[in-house]
Amino acid sequence: MSDSLNHVAIIMDGNGRWAKLHGKDRSYGHRQGATTMKNLAVKASELNIKTLSLYAFSTENWKRSEKEVNYLMKLPGLFFDQYLKEIMEANIRVRFIGFISDLPKATQKVVANAISATKNNTGMELVLAVNYGSQQEIVHAVKSYANDVALGYRENDLEVNEFENYLMTKEYSQVDLLIRTSGEYRLSNFLLWQISYAELYFTPTLFPDFDGDQFESAINDYQSRHRRFGGAE
Ligand code: FPP
């Protein structure tokens, strides 16, 4: 594994279509997606990826039906009940980005428990984006910065690198590879600042079917690319 693949992000799309293809309701697709999520997290940690960020619920997903939103809010609890043991065995540290304090109290508790149970793990960081939106994150960061200036904590002399300290991802490196499943070519408000120089990989595979071998293919594709970061040959 190349040293440069520190951070992989995945837009996990296609659970609903997968469920429909199997004649089931959307919740079934999300449940299967959660299993895929765990498999990819274990695989990524075996591949020595430092950070894996997964888009689990966007700030726009509240527009879905009440039934689907309720299920998606319950899913983190089901996920950790079923998979915490494997996550511990893989030495994965679980983190979250997003507006967590706006989630239902029970979901917030699951989030806090997952962070606390895995906080001493020293392997890969699994960053789950829940109630996350990149534009909202950036606006939130700008407000914090403006507040710091207004209170006299700092000069109005912001540099690009420093701005990252105001983002929810301040502890993680820039994204190297962004994968989106299900054949859609969109970024959907995910880590827009952090993917400035990421390589993009799109696959038609619906997320529940995106397995470890396909994940490795995406990584091999990434390894074959030549990143110039705006420089010339
Ligand atoms: C997009 O597919 C998927 C989501 C909005 C939810 C993704 C969530 C998971 C895979 C599991 C989350 C679990 C935890 C533990 C946080 P879609 O529903 O938009 O699919 P469609 O485009 O085919 O309808």
pLDDT at 1: 52
Catalytic machinery residues: 13, 61
- Coil, helix or strand at residue 174: coil
Ligand 1 neighbours (beta carbon < 6 A): 12-17, 30, 33-34, 37, 56, 61, 75-76, 79, 128, 130, 182
Q: How far is the CA of 142 from the centre of ligand 1 (A)?
A: 29
Give Cβ neighbours of residue 144 (< 8 Å, ≥ 6 apart): 166
CA distances from 196 to 44, 161, 167 (A): 22, 13, 14
Rounded distance, CA 90 to CA 108, Å? 24
pLDDT at 125: 98
pLDDT at 4: 63
Domain 7-139+173-223 class, CATH top level: alpha beta
Residue 95: beta bridge partners? 127
Positions of the chain with pLDDT lower than 50, given as ranges:
2
pLDDT at 228: 82
Q: Which two tokens stand for residue 3?
A: 């040293």
pLDDT at 230: 85
pLDDT at 83: 98
Q: How far is the CA of 56 from the centre of ligand 1 (A)?
A: 6
pLDDT at 31: 98
Find where tokens 């075996």 sit.
Answer: 46
pLDDT at 231: 86
pTM higher than the cut 0.75: yes
Every domain of the chain and the residues it spans: 7-139+173-223
